[in-house]
Every structure is written in C-alpha cells, then in structure tokens.
Chain A
Amino acid sequence: MADALFYVMAVAAVLAALGVVLAKNPMQCVLSLLVSFFALAVIYLLAGFQFLAAAQILVYAGAIMVLFLFVIMLLNLGSPGTEDPTDVRMFSRANATLMVVVAAAILFVLALAIRRAGPMPVENSLPEGGLDPIPGLAGEMFGRYLLPFEAISVLLLATAVAVVVLAKRDRRANEESKA
C-alpha cells in the first residue's frame, strides 16, 4: 500500500515538474509546481517525516506559491496572445544546446560526487528520538547542526538584502535617466 502510494506520488511529482517547464501558460506552470510540492509532501509523510511534510505545504504551497500567483495576476500574464517575444528568443537553438550541455555537466559532477561519497550512513542520520519526530528534529537542528542552520539563515538574509539593494539601484537609475 505505502509502496504503491510512493510510486504514484513519485510519478506525479516528476510529471508535474515536467509540466512546470513545458507548459506555455504561466498559470499552468504554477499549478503544476503546486501539484509537485504536494506529491513531495506525501512522499515525506510516507518516509515518516510529518514535520517536513507540513512545513513543505505551509511554506511552499501556502506562502511562496501564493506570491507567484500574485505576481502573475499583477502582471496579467497568461492571457493568450500576449507572449513576450524575449521569451521565445531564450529558446533559440544555440541556447537550447548550451542548456543541455550545462545540465549534462551538472549531472556528471553530481553523479561523480555521489559515487565518491559512497553509501549514506542511514543508521546515524536518524535522530535518536526516533518515533517522536519534533523534539528529535529540533534537538538535531539546534544542537548538532546549529552552525549550518545559522549559516543558511545568514545566506537567506544576505539574499533578501541583495534583492532590496538591486531593486533600489534600478529605480534610482530610472529616475536619473528621466531627469
């Protein structure tokens, strides 16, 4: 039963992910991404990570995807016949070849890294709490992995600051060009 559900969800996740890149309408892309996130959340649940599943839906489906939809509606994308010509230029033959080469290179490096790393030490990676996921997870996250956790939050903060700086500079340049 659980195995069957896993395969159904895995296939759904991959198909939806394909839909994200292949769909023409931006609305369909976002909805495909949503389906993909849900399938992933179910897979997390099957693996026994209730917290991760809930956080996945809460953060990605509940907040980030709403922002995506917000932008799409604000720019009124997705109405037929208004395709931006710059989008088409992005998919020229030369660019497509370049993308495939880069993707293949990344895949090669990843495969090499996974081969070098050897089998994952599964028995050590599970928290000692075992069946009580949240105290176990919190203990690991704010104990053994505190430094990476804080590093990631600093990285995210830096990204947010960078976006603000970039957006601001753009506006100032616009004002200067107007004046």
Chain B
Amino acid sequence: MSTWEGFLIALVKTVVIFGTVVQVAALMTLAERKFSAWMQYRIGPNRVGPFGLLQPLADGVKFIFKEELTPDGANKWLFRAAPILAALPAMMTIAVIPFTPDIVIGGRNFGSLAVADLDVGILYILALGGLAIYGVILGGWASNSKYSLMGSLRASAQMISYELTLILTILAVVVMSGSLNLREIVESQPTVGHWHIWTQPLAFVMFVVATFAETNRHPFDFSECEPELVGGFHTEYSAMKWAMFYIGEYSAMTMMACLTVVLFLGGWSVPFWESAPWFVCLAAFLAKTSVFLFLFLWVRWSLPRFRFDQLMRLGWKVFLPLALINLLVTGALVSLF
C-alpha cells in the first residue's frame, strides 16, 4: 500500500466520521423536538419536508441570516472564540472511537473505521473532552452578564465534580480490559457475556449519570437553567454563535453515547454472532449508540431538574466514594484471579 493510498483511506474515513457526527447532531435537534412533542401529545415540527425532516436545514439557514449581537462590555475576542471552543472537543474526540473491526472488501484490509488508533485513546478522550468546559466558562465570562457568569460558575463546579466519577469509572473498565486503547477494550468483550455492563454494573450506572452531567444535559443542565438564569452561559449569544453551542452539546452527546457503547456494551460486537461481517458490526454499533442517544432525550422529557446542592452532594458524597471503592475492589479481584 503506497503512502497516497493510505492518505486517501484516512481522508475518506475522516470525512465519513466527521460528516456523520455533524449530521447526527443536526438530526438530534429534530429528534428532540419530535420526541418531546410525542411525549406531550403534540405533533411537533411537520411543515418542512416529509415529517419535518428538513427542519434542521431550515434552522441552519435561519441561524446564518440572523443578526449577531455582541453585548456592550463583552470581551470581543473571547466572546467569539467560546462557541468554537465549545463545539471543537467533541468533534476531535470522536476521532479515536473505533466503529467497526477491520474492514475487508474483496480481500483487501482497510483497517478499522476510526480516524486514529491511539495507545492512549481513553486519555486522549478525557484530556480533550475536559476542554469542552472552556467554551462554556469563557463564553459566560466574556458576555459580561450576571446570568451568563452564574451559568459558567455552575458549569465549572459541576464539570470538575463529575469528571472525577467519569474517570474513576472508566479506570475500572480499563483495569478489566488491561488497555487504554479503545480497539483493545472492544476486543476484550467479544461476546454478550463479556460485556463490561455485566462485570461493572455499578461503574456503568455511575458512568451514564456522569455523562449527563458532563454534557450539561437535563436533569443536570444548571448552566443554562432557564427558570433562574434566562439562558445561562449562552444568554447573550445569538445566531450562528448560539447554534455552535448547540452543535457542541449534541456532538458531545453523540460522543458520550459512542464511548458508553465502546466501554460497556462491547462496541461493535454483535450478540450471538461472533464472526459477523464488518457492516453488520457497524449496524450493531450504531443501533447501540442510538439507544443511548434516545436515553438522553427520554430523561430530559421525563424527569424534573435537580437542585444544585443535590447535584454536588450526589457527585462528591455518593458517586466519588462508590467509584473509588468500585475501582479498589475491581483492582483487587483482577490481581487475584
């Protein structure tokens, strides 16, 4: 395989993965509205295209043509940079998610559908994923508005608290599979019986709850809590800058759903069909991811919002000790057997 071929294959993979994530993020906004309508006995968007499927496109056009407002006394440079910083990390971290096993077409091996196969894949995700908070913090601070600042303050406290739980639960899985490489973590759970959701049920539950807090999703969306803070950190944002925060949020949700599948649900492994071809594996991966994306919506439209002190208590007094004990027990059991 020549260098050019390798470059071309990598380019195709990058375009496919990146394009899909942006598409999913756009379609999730529609799914959210459709789903909330369904849960509240409404119809939801149904005017633009069949079943309202072109609604995200119409929204995008609207955002581009709306007037952009910058509040007085805002730090202009940071105010502009914040939406980019909010949208970028989720799109960068998706690069290490392996969606399929090695793709073999006509006897040729094109490698796994992943942009990069890093030995420190998990750390890469945690490191860059942790930077998503800067978009929220700097956006709120640069807006020069009390509501925005309060939203940012809450977001920073919340993110730091729940990142601990997130990292400790991921570490339990890493200890089980003995690797930081996401492909190897998937390969360590080849059949349904090996999925880490069975070996690490406690870590799974805490991880899923922590992903809600990390993506600022309901019931933990205190940084934009509309009854108290108008719109929280994005109160002062309008037009495409505002939309960037939303693209960031929905990409982060997609990314977290993919990560949950990789860590706990065997990634591309198909239940009861170990030697499935790569496209079946891809379908299985996407199906599992959709379940978690659906969970994000389901929870949002079913549960009331927490109180901020409850969130902090849950994070520091319940999840952190539990995650530490879980990691300790896991480590002890793995080293014994």
Q: Which residues of A contact B (CB under 8 A)?
A: 27, 50-51, 54-55, 57-58, 61-63, 66-67, 69-70, 73-74, 76, 132-134
Query: Which residue of chain B is the closest to A80 with respect to CB atoms?
Result: B73
Which of B6-14, B151-159, B247-255 forms part of the interface with chain A? B151-159
Query: Which residue of chain B is the closest to A50 with respect to CB atoms?
Result: B120
Q: Contact at A70–B153, with CB atoms within 8 Å?
A: yes
Shortest distance from the beta carbon of B162 to any chain A beta carbon, whole Å: 12
Q: Which of A57, A73, A74 contacts B131 (CB 8 A)?
A: A57
B236 proximal to A (CB < 8 A):
no
Minimum-distance CB pairs A-B, first 4: A62-B130, A54-B123, A57-B127, A58-B127
B26 proximal to A (CB < 8 A):
no
A55 to B157, CA, bound (A): 20
A151 to B64, CA, bound (A): 56
Q: Contact at B118–A50, with CB atoms within 8 Å?
A: yes
B159 partner residues in chain A, CB cutoff 8 A: 66
B160 proximal to A (CB < 8 A):
yes
Q: Which of B124, B126, B128, B156 contacts A69 (CB 8 A)?
A: B156
A58 to B180, CA, bound (A): 15
B152 partner residues in chain A, CB cutoff 8 A: 73
Interface size on B, residues (CB 8 A): 27
Q: Contact at A74–B153, with CB atoms within 8 Å?
A: yes
> Which of A50, A54, A69, A132 has the most B CB atoms < 10 Å from its CB?
A54
Query: Which residue of chain B is the closest to A51 with respect to CB atoms?
Result: B120
Query: Which residue of chain A is the closest to B133 with respect to CB atoms?
Result: A66
Q: What are 11 sample pairs from A and B whose C-beta atoms fall under 8 A apart?
A: A51-B123, A54-B124, A54-B126, A58-B130, A61-B130, A62-B133, A69-B138, A70-B137, A70-B153, A73-B140, A73-B152
Beyond contacts A57-B131, A67-B156, A133-B119: 8 other A-B pairs, Cβ-Cβ < 8 A, are A27-B75, A27-B78, A50-B118, A61-B131, A62-B131, A63-B130, A74-B153, A76-B149
A73 partner residues in chain B, CB cutoff 8 A: 137, 140-141, 149, 152-153, 156
